[in-house]
Amino acid sequence: MAAFAAGLDRALAVPPGFFPAWLRRHGRRGGRNKVPRVVNDEVLLDDLVAAAERADR
């Protein structure tokens, strides 16, 4: 695991439809586009965590 993700010590619950909406906001449409299972990009991880925290409110 990358050093930047080592501090992430919790799971974030997101509402149904979160990931398809996140993909649409980033211009990734279609059935072949997926959220990566392994995130090794700090910017992508930060964006996903921030979006999940906003959705949790």
**38/41 Cα distance (integer angstroms):** 9
**pLDDT at position 50, please?**
87
**54/38 Cα distance (integer angstroms):** 22
**pLDDT at position 1, please?**
40
**pLDDT at position 6, please?**
57
Prediction pTM value: 0.62
Contact of 49 with 5, CB cutoff 8 Å: no
Q: Per residue in 1-57, pLDDT tens?
A: 445 555 667 777 888 988 888 888 888 877 777 777 777 778 888 888 888 888 866
